[in-house]
Amino acid sequence: MNARKILVVEDDKVVLKLLADTLKAADYEVLTAQNSATAIKLAREQQPDLVTLDIELAKESSDDSWDGFSIAGWLRRLHEGKPKPILVVISGNCQPDKIVARASNLGIHTCLFKPVDKKQLLEKVAGALS
């Protein structure tokens, strides 16, 4: 098995399965989270080498202040000295230019658009981990 550990954060079960299965087939160790609480717990405890993050992750409740951008910012602060790569996944029905710009402000420069192309996913992950 590949020594690299990837956390996949995605609230859409179909997309989560596609991402996780693709990465597992490429011999990555894959952790999955469908909500912010699980994502934060796994990131803190498992210290993944890379995170794929649905930047439009839905908030779990009105009390939940953690959306995709909040998680991205937290991940950047968690590894302040040596930040881990974050690959942002964006749906096509949003305003991608604004999201890409906001992600870039957080130091995230790798974005994928849904529907995610498996080959492109693996290329971007390999590039981010190299």
pLDDT for 61 equals 53
- Total domains present in the chain: 1
The CATH number of the domain holding residue 45 is 3.40.50.2300
pLDDT of residue 83: 77
Q: pLDDT digit string (tens) for 30-64?
A: 999 999 889 999 999 999 999 999 988 876 655 56
CA distance 6 to 32: 8
Report whether 5 contacts 31 (CB < 8 A): yes
Task: Spell 7-32 as b/e; 16+ CB within 10 A means b.
Answer: bbbbbbeebbebbbebbeebebbbbb
Helices (H), 1-130: 13-25, 36-46, 68-78, 96-105, 118-129
- Listed as own residue / partner, the contacts of 12-17 with beta carbons closer than 8 Å and 24 or more positions apart are 12/54, 15/54, 15/89, 15/114, 15/116
Please state the φ and ψ torsions of residue 29, each to the nearest 5 degrees: -85, 125
Q: What are the pLDDT digits (tens) for 4-15?
A: 999 999 999 999
- Residue 128 above 60 pLDDT? yes
pLDDT tens, residue by residue, 76-110: 888 766 778 999 888 766 666 777 777 777 777 68
Structural domain for 56, as ranges:
5-129
